[in-house]
A and B are shown apart, each in its own frame.
Chain A
Amino acid sequence: MVDDAAHELDRDEVAKVAGLAMLELTDEELDTFTPQLGAILAHAQDMENLDLADVAPTHHPYPLVNVMRPDVVAEDAGGPELRDAVLAAAPDVEDNRFKVPPALGGD
């Protein structure tokens, strides 16, 4: 998930990531954000210099595991009333479904 150390972020990578996040950045914005994001990543790379061999990976600040719920349908889940309320908040609806611009790809 994380690139190896000592890699300097460049403008093209920022443009690509912005595209994946569906953000349109102008050339000026790319010039501004590339060094800013680079500085943040450089800070994260400082960690690479530490000896962390004995430290377990931390995904979460809480020392919790196995937080689960029983497999029971909630009383307020589903049904026509909730459906109608949710659809009423949508910009466009057809046949009780959300109507959206044509979606390409996916399955």
Chain B
Amino acid sequence: MTNKSATKTESQELLPEGWEMVIGLEIHVELATATKLFSPAQNSFGSEPNQNVHPVCLGLPGTLPVVNEKAIEFAARIGLALNCTVQKCVFARKNYFYPDMPKDYQISQFDEPLNIDGWVDLPVAGTRIRVERAHVEEDTGKTTHVGDSGRIHDAGYSLVDYNRAGVPLVEIVTHPDIRGPEEAKEYVDEVRAMVVAVGASDGKMEEGSLRVDANVSVRPAGSDELRTRCEIKNVNSLRSIGRAITYEAKRHVNLYESGKEPIQETRHWDEEAGRTRDGRKKEDSDDYRYFADPDLVAIDPTPEWIAQIAASQPALPAQRREALVSAGADSEGAALVVQRDLDSLVLAVIEAGGEAKRVLNHATNNLAIEGAEALSPSNFADLVKMEADGALTSTQAKQVLAEMVSDGSTPADIAAKHGFEAMDTGELEATLDEIISSSPQEWERFVNEPEARGKLQGFFVGQVMKATRGQADGKLVNQLLAKKANS
């Protein structure tokens, strides 16, 4: 649960001596359903204002909410991916007055959420982050503040668009187990990969499909106390999550070290200024006067239904990384390939006879290209074989691969088009001999001065590449040089 290594933890390195960060995250995930959580209005991003509405999500009198079964399925898939217990749950009203909800309450879950007690293991940090709950709730509408400065405190008025009001959300809440900004970013990245993998969300932070609030406090390093925390809102990218957490933790340490204390409040991250600003004082949960929504009955998932959802879960990022490692990938390469969603391609190429190390090398270094996932595994495997057989140099292979992505041709056709042909060793040796005889001084030094050899090796390889218009295999040239120098 905590970093027990003898070396300094990430948060101890960022903070003055003797302090550590205590971070809990709340991630709101918008579910990729066709309709809203309680209303049959369309759930889609980027529509014209107030086009995706219906009497239910406008809170018109006499309307009644009915739960979207797909939203419950997606929420349970997220819960299972997070190793949660999926349980009987109740919807509750969270009461507050704010124009983003036309009903003047938000339907959420309070003391009986759908998913409880899970965890996420972080592959790089090696830590386990406990998940307290992952509950279902409806999103709010979007208010835009119009005023002289554009800042909410000076707003002349607000404009409200209810397209987002009622969109299904899962809110994933961790225990305060995170100890630094890098760990926080890794957690968010892993959860994002999970919700995308199970098909529950597109996970796009830039469109607000995945939003993060960070609860940040600090404490003397190594203690287990929990001090006053501040909730940081408006962190809309992985980069701002890290920056906001570091800024806020340092602010707390400064307060404590000057004899003051932070107060519990909601603060907003100002990306441009690189700081947090105080927002409203945090309400007690009592102030929301939660109570079970009388318009909705409980959701009680049967063990059979849960088993069926579990059995039909797609492979999760951790399982996909493991499959790559079993096929011969290193763990770093495996993480990158899964992140790029190229793992099924890579596995198929290895299956089709491509040498694992070369396939991974291409996938991690040469395939950050749009459309790469659509490559034909057998063509990709053929390319790797051509490279392994010496028919293509690694530079040529990279170029051929890029063209395979853009036009779908076979590697043989592309290589032929460019005149990339296997130079046989005899031909290459003849070329090298010519270069050696026309550069006798360099050759003399190459053979007799070991300290000059590295530099001159570059010279000879360069000459060969020039003479062959880049078609020679650099590795083979080096082997030939070594052989000739030692003979």
Contacts and interface: CB of A to CB of B under 8 A. Distances in A.
Interface stretch (A28-36, A37-45, A61-69): A61-69
A74 B42 CA distance: 8
A69 B69 contact: yes
B98 A106 contact: yes
B4 interface: no
A51 to B, nearest CB: 22
Contact of B66 (A69, A86, A97, A103): A69
Contacts of B234: 107
B161 interface: yes
B159 A94 contact: yes
Interface in B155-170: 155-162
Contact of A72 (B40, B97, B300): B40
A78 B166 CA distance: 13
Interface string A63-107: 011111111111011111011001100000011111111111111
Interface residues of B, number: 63
Given A65-B297, A96-B50, A102 B147 contact: yes
A47 interface: no
A20 interface: yes
Nearest to A62: B297
Contact of B100 (A22, A65, A72, A106): A106
A74 B40 contact: yes
Given A1-B291, A66-B300, A78 B67 contact: no
Contact of B51 (A20, A62, A67, A78): A78
A70 B294 CA distance: 21
Given A22-B97, A71-B70, A79 B300 contact: no
Interface stretch (B31-39, B307-315, B351-359, B384-392): B31-39
Contacts of B97: 22
Given A1-B111, A68-B69, A96-B49, A73 B41 contact: yes
11 contacts: A20-B95, A66-B297, A68-B72, A71-B71, A74-B40, A77-B53, A78-B42, A98-B159, A100-B143, A102-B157, A103-B100
Interface of A: 1, 17, 20-22, 59-60, 62, 64-74, 76-80, 82-83, 86-87, 94-107
Report the 7 A-B pairs with minimum CB-CB distance, sorted nearest first: A74-B40, A71-B70, A68-B69, A105-B280, A97-B159, A102-B155, A77-B54
